[in-house]
Structure 1
Amino acid sequence: MRETVYIFLKAPVAGRVKTRLGAVVGMGRAAALFRIMTDWTIAEAQKGSWETVLAVDPPAAAHKRARFWPPRFRRVAQGPGDLGARMARIFRTAPPGPVVIIGADAPGLRARHLREAFKRLRGADAVFGPAADGGFWLIGLARRRAAPDLFDSVRWSSEHTLADTLKTLPESFDVRMLETLRDVDEAADLETAMFRGRR
């Protein structure tokens, strides 16, 4: 069974991505920064033996040849619903084997984090990369056992997101944590999360 990384991506269109950031720095600049972060994330994600798949939005972007993203990666549409519904769909429909889902807004992510996530999933049911704001930048499931209530009633984009998600897992699940990273949602995140270590 193959290990698979899904990168959740939105088309880097001004006014449709990173709008909280864009309210301060401008929507065009926010979209450009998101595209940079996307390039960084894809570059790290291809440094392993796992398959990397782009889970994209809007759905039509899954069928466009190479407008936003490298054409060599398989693409799937995220589909309708909130973030939880879209991630749950990926976990249900992905090929057999452990699955890790990441976004493109945690510039501290490196290939070593993905390797460590899959390593931990060999003995655990779930793995998370906690974010400094109370969310998470990575979620992975071994998929040996079902998690039927996954993402039910999660308060997304809040300090409760990770804690709420953990509560939706079966009590018997063995859950492991990776290191905490900072993602970029607000202008204040730019210096601490985006450019440190990238200079």
Structure 2
Amino acid sequence: MAAERARRHLVIFARQPRYGVGKRRLAQDVGNLAALRFSRSALAELVRRLGRDPHWTLWLAITPDRPTAWVRQGHPIGQGKGDLGERLTRVARALPPGPVVILGADTPGVTRTDVTRAFHHLGSHAAVLGPARDGGYWLIGLRRAPRDPVPFTGIRWSTEHTLADTLTSLAGHPVAELQMREDVDDGPALRRALRRRRLV
């Protein structure tokens, strides 16, 4: 079990939750305080739900890179500078060998079953994607075999083209998909997420 955990890497990309920093579209709709509360609670819930599973090692890819003292669980790793593609590439290449699954911190409801399925797909696929309703994705997993691509160059990030561009970068390699989910990027998405939580 320890050897399996050492070979599998779950990474949550996260900004240190701070008032007035990050989640700008959400803050415009619901205010800075509500946006901060969502950022804190969503990240804490993800870490609590996914961080103690013995089948993978948890990493938090954080920005800013310092300080790291606020990371209470998991191994902190700085995202570094550049656009999202450059930061994803840097983190994917910095980790020890083994498949990697990367999540954003703004998709409530991700479960251990979702992550387990992603790692399972990476046994026979170069990549796995969890599509998001806005045309992006809430999860990407990479097998990281020697000839597998790192598909983060030439992507139109934060647009309806993000998923399609990434699939184009992966053309010729087997790709699996998980269920569609919704990122919380604005007020209506937050209200839908809160309704779903009350119904569970």
In the superposition, the TM-score normalised over structure 2's length comes to 0.90
1:177: which partner in 2?
177
Please list the CA deviations of residues 123-179 of structure 1 after superposition, one character each: whole Å capped at 9, or x if unmatched: 11100010011100000000114455622221111111111111112x321000000
2:133: which partner in 1?
132
The answer to whether residue 62 in structure 2 is matched with residue 56 in structure 1 is yes
2:11 is aligned, of 6, 22, 30, to 6
**Counterpart residue identity of residue 16, structure 1:** V
**Counterpart residue identity of residue 60, structure 1:** R
How much identity, in percent, do the aligned residues show?
40
**Counterpart residue identity of residue 94, structure 1:** L
SS of 1:183's partner is: coil
Distance 2:166 2:148 in 1: 11
1:54-133 mapped onto 2 (5 Å cutoff): 54-62=60-68, 65=69, 67=70, 69-70=71-72, 72-133=73-134
How many residue pairs get aligned? The number is 193
1:19: which partner in 2?
24
SS of 1:53's partner is: strand
Task: Confirm or deny: 8 A CA contact 2:131 2:180 kept in the other structure.
Answer: yes
Task: Confirm or deny: 8 A CA contact 2:14 2:60 kept in the other structure.
Answer: yes
Please list the CA deviations of residues 35-66 of structure 1 after superposition, one character each: whole Å capped at 9, or x if unmatched: 1100111122225220001110001133xx2x
Distance 1:80 1:183 in 2: 23
Query: Which sections of structure 2, spanning at least 5 residues, go unmatched?
Result: 1-5
RMSD over equivalenced CA pairs, Å? 1.6
Distance 1:146 1:140 in 2: 15
Distance 2:197 2:19 in 1: 27
Quote how far apart the aligned CAs of 1:28 are: 1.9
Distance 2:124 2:194 in 1: 32
SS of 1:197's partner is: helix
SS of 2:130's partner is: strand
In the superposition, the TM-score normalised over structure 1's length comes to 0.91
**Counterpart residue identity of residue 152, structure 2:** F
Please identify runs of 4+ aligned residues in structure 1 that moved more than 6 A: none
Distance 1:125 1:166 in 2: 11
Report which stretch shifted further, 147-156 or 33-42. 147-156
SS of 2:67's partner is: helix
Report which stretch shifted further, 113-122 or 144-153. 144-153
Residues 147 and 121 of structure 1: is their aligned pair in 2 closer, same or farther, counting only changes over 3 Å? closer
